[in-house]
Amino acid sequence: MLSIKNLHAKIDDKDILNGINLEVKAGEVHAIMGPNGSGKSTLASVIAGKEEYEVTDGDIYINGESIEELSAEERAHKGIFLSFQYPVEIPGVSVTNFIKTAINETRKAKGEKEMPAKEMLKLLKDKSSLLEIDRKFLSRSINDGFSGGEKKRNEIFQMAMLEPSIAILDETDSGLDIDALRIVANGVNKLKSSKNAVILITHYQRLLDYIVPDYVHVLHNGKIVKSGTKELAIELEEKGYDWIKEEVKN
C-alpha cells in the first residue's frame, strides 16, 4: 500500500532523513518510535507533502505509484491523512465548513458528485459521537481556543470523516489525559480495517497499549535502525533509547 524506498530529505540544507525504507500493507498498524530529533515528524510531513522539505533521494509509492510530484492535496486525494502533532488554529472557519469543503473537494477530484447535505449531516453526527464530540464543537473555528485534547480529538474526527487509506498519527497521544487517550484510541481502532493502514508516531509505549501495532520501528538520525513487534516497544519503554544508539555505533 505505502512503500518508502531509500528516502532522503532535507530542510534548509540540513539533512533530516537519511535513507528510510518502509513497507506498509493494508490492514497493518506500524509504530515509529525514536528519540527527539530523530526525524519522526519530518517523515510524517514528507509523506504528507509539506513543501518546505526537499526530497533529495529515494521515493514514496502508493499502490506502486510514485507520489513525489504530487501536491499535498493530491496526496490527500490518494488517501493519505496526517494527524498533526500541532494542529493549526484557523480563526473564522468552522470545523463543519472545513470538513464539508475537504470532503467535497476530495470527491470532486475523484470525479464524484458532492455529498448530499442530508448524508453529510448524518456522517457528521455519527462520527462526532464516535469521538464523543459535542455538536457545539463543530460550529467553532478550527482549533481556535481548543484545549490540547480537543485539538487531537478534532484530528481523529477529521480522519473519521475523510476515511483515509493511510493514516499517519503524529504524536497524537501527546497532551492527552488518560480519558481523552482512551477516546482517541477507541476511535482509531474502530476506523481500522483490512483496507486501510495506520502509522503511529510516538515517543511512548502508552498509546500502543490501546492501539496495538503489528510492527515497531525505531528511527535514529533519520534512519530506521531497528524493527520488531510490539515487544520492542515494551523493551524501549523499560530501557530507553541509549542501548539502541550504542548498538548503531558498534
* Residue 162 vs 234, nearer CB to another protein: 162
104 binds another protein (CB under 8 A): yes
Residues in the interface with another protein (CB under 8 A) total 36
Q: How far is the CB of 40 from another protein (least distance, A)?
A: 17
106 binds another protein (CB under 8 A): yes
> Given the rule CB under 8 A, which of 5-13, 91-99, 207-215, 225-233 is the region that contacts another protein?
91-99
Retrieve residue 39's grid coordinates.
526525524
Within residues 57-86, the interface with another protein by CB under 8 A covers 71-73, 75-77, 81-82, 84
Residue type, 47: I
48 binds another protein (CB under 8 A): yes
179 binds another protein (CB under 8 A): no
Q: What span, in angstroms and rounded, lies between the C-alpha atoms of 185 and 173?
A: 9
Q: Exposed (0-12), middle (13-18) or buried (19+): which is 174, by Cβ within 10 Å?
A: middle
* Residue 47 vs 216, nearer CB to another protein: 47
Candidates 213, 176, 198; CA nearest to 81 is 198
Residues 227-238, buried b or exposed e (16+ Cβ, 10 A)? Answer: eeebebbebbee
* Residue 22 vs 48, nearer CB to another protein: 48
Q: How far is the CB of 46 from another protein (least distance, A)?
A: 12
Residues 141-160, mask of contacts with another protein (x by CB under 8 A): x----------------x--
For the chain, counts of helices (H) and of strands (E): 9, 12
* Residue 74 vs 177, nearer CB to another protein: 74
98 binds another protein (CB under 8 A): yes
Q: Write the CB contacts of 51 (distance below 8 Å, at least 6 apart in sequence).
A: 72
The helix (H) or strand (E) run that includes residue 249 is helix 242-249
Q: What share of the chain is helix, strand, coil (3-state, %, to 5)?
A: 40, 30, 30
- State the residues that interact with another protein by CB under 8 A: 48-52, 71-73, 75-77, 81-82, 84, 87-93, 96-98, 100-106, 109, 114, 141, 158, 162
